[in-house]
Amino acid sequence: MDELLNAAWAVAFYGCLGRETVKKIITEALDGLKHDICAGARLSLPVAELAVLRAESLLRVRSSSTLKPVVNATGVVVYTNLGRAPLADEALRAVYEVSGAYSTLEYSLDKGGRGGRNSHVEWLICRMTGAEAALAVNNNAAAVFLALSATAAGREVIVSCGELVEIGDSFRIPEILTFSGAKMKAVGCTNSTNIDDYRTAITEATAVLLKVHPSNYRIDGFVKSTSREELAALASSRDLVFMEDLGSGLLCQLDVPFANREHSVRDCLKAGSGIVTFSGDKLLGGPQIGVIAGSKPLIDKMKRHQLLRALRVDKMTLAAFEATLRIYLSGRQGEIPVIKMIEADKSELLKKARSLCRMLKGSTANLKLPHLKPGDVAVSVVETRDAVGGGAYPTDSLPGFGVEIRASSVRVETLAAGLRTARVPVIAGIRDNSLILHVRTLLPGDEKLIAASFTEVLCTIT
């Protein structure tokens, strides 16, 4: 241990980790190695060399941030695992300004005392959606949870069998309903539910008719669901709440051919939804947040609910959300990265793909790579199918362009892994046996980062 701890490569990490932590990390690496040896692993190198390699590699991992920016070259605009929506510059500036100073988070400058955290965004949400009242919480799962807890705890919620969806790998409608204290009553069939199914299921105990956006799947063939208008009329005639979990919250009309497959929050409220819940970081293009919008008496009840304290939004998120909503307010939603990427036109994407292709060719042209033969690596512009993501338009694709990388002597998975683990990670798509860099989801400056990472990979793969 002393030998390792005093070696130059270990001492180099003292600055950022401290000697004690370096020692802990080396111990951890050695323990891992011992464990492998005891488990009968075949060693590729002498133990002493392996120990150094393992320790150094673990020190490198632990000395840099693991939550860091990556280049999204997958063509999926709202990519949950990659952090969903990249924020607009104005939202970033707002976060920076509000977080590095004291702020009006819960302070009213007029009264000189307590103010409302929700007040910064409520009127903006109402303005953009036509809602009477609105409440922002941690995310849409929290919005659904709070809305159901406040309106249906101890009572029944009627929902169509075709809408009992699972989103991501943890949010399931039946479970969230149960957690909220409500009793779920599923009606109809997987592919068909009509208004009479809801009507006959209503009892004294019913509180809510719930509609859920199917988000990540679509049923083909014979499908029948009940319209918002019918559900709203039924709910109102029986004094029930009609609630809708919209998932991706669309605030404006999108300029894409299949735009009318998704309804905006405003459309849903106009059609009679009493309460609508949606995410801030999907189609809306803002930070992770959940919005509950709709009827004032119901929202007021949620504002008084004990759960709100546990689900409330922090100042950085609120700052980013307010700034994002203000971009909509001023009619400049085309400047929001998510909207800009979805609406990008083909000629613009083709230009971007050609420029990326040129850059990749240029940056690798003069490399001396003994392990690669000339012509081993080919880059070319190709057409792609991109996606909106985030549960919106699950079966529609956006025609786009990208750069295909084919390397005859390197497996495509090796290339993809190399790009993922480069100094600036690049997440690419794979099609057939080649790597595709979709340009739709690239942000300004990403082309240069890709070129650098690509060069790094070509220099290090063997």
Ligand X SMILES: *Cc1c(COP(=O)(O)O)cnc(C)c1O
Contact criterion met (CB below 8 Å) for 433 and 462: no
Given candidates 10, 73, 212, 336, which one binds ligand X under the rule CB under 6 A?
A: 212
Given candidates 211, 213, 263, 266, which one binds ligand X under the rule CB under 6 A?
A: 213
CB of 249 to ligand X, least distance (A): 9
Spell out, one character per residue from 227 to 246, where the chain touches ligand X: x when CB under 6 A holds, - when not. Answer: ------------------x-
What is the C-alpha to C-alpha distance for residues 106 and 62, in angstroms, rounded to an integer?
A: 37
Residue 87 is classified by DSSP as: P
β-sheet bridge partners, residue 72: 427
Count of residues near ligand X by CB under 6 A: 14
- Judged by CB, which is closer to ligand X: 156, or 245? 245
Given candidates 75, 290, 294, 418, which one binds ligand X under the rule CB under 6 A?
A: 290
CB of 254 to ligand X, least distance (A): 16
- CA-nearest of 164, 448, 129 to 291 is 129
Q: By CB under 6 A, is residue 215 in contact with ligand X? A: yes
In the complex, residue closest to ligand X by CB: 247
Q: Token pair of 64, please?
A: 């840099």
Given candidates 151, 180, 273, 279, which one binds ligand X under the rule CB under 6 A?
A: 279
CB of 162 to ligand X, least distance (A): 13
What is the C-alpha to C-alpha distance for residues 246 and 269, in angstroms, rounded to an integer?
A: 11
Q: Token pair of 392, please?
A: 């919106």
Q: Where are the beta strands (DSSP E) in 101-145?
A: 107-108, 113-114, 133-137
Q: By CB under 6 A, is residue 249 in contact with ligand X? A: no
Binding residues among 41-100 for ligand X as defined by CB under 6 A: none
CB of 433 to ligand X, least distance (A): 33
CB of 247 to ligand X, least distance (A): 2
- The 8 Å CB, 24+ separation contacts for 103-108 are 103/315, 103/319, 105/315, 105/318
What is the C-alpha to C-alpha distance for residues 47 and 58, in angstroms, rounded to an integer?
A: 16
Give the contacts of 257 (CB within 8 A, at least 6 positions apart): none
CB of 345 to ligand X, least distance (A): 27
Binding residues among 134-163 for ligand X as defined by CB under 6 A: 139-141
- Judged by CB, which is closer to ligand X: 250, or 415? 250
Given candidates 188, 389, 391, 418, which one binds ligand X under the rule CB under 6 A?
A: 391
Task: Give the helix/strand (H/E) hosting 239.
Answer: none
- Judged by CB, which is closer to ligand X: 268, or 379? 268
Using CB atoms within 10 Å of the CB of residue 75, give its burial: 0 to 12 exposed, 13 to 18 middle, 19+ buried: buried
Q: By CB under 6 A, is residue 167 in contact with ligand X? A: yes
Binding residues among 406-435 for ligand X as defined by CB under 6 A: none
- Can you say whether residue 18 is alpha, beta or left, with left for phi > 0 and alpha for psi between -120 and 50 degrees? left
Stretch that binds ligand X, among 1-9, 195-203, 208-216, 344-352 (CB under 6 A): 208-216
> Which residues of this protein are in contact with ligand X, per CB under 6 A?
139-141, 167, 171, 212-213, 215, 245, 247-248, 279, 290, 391
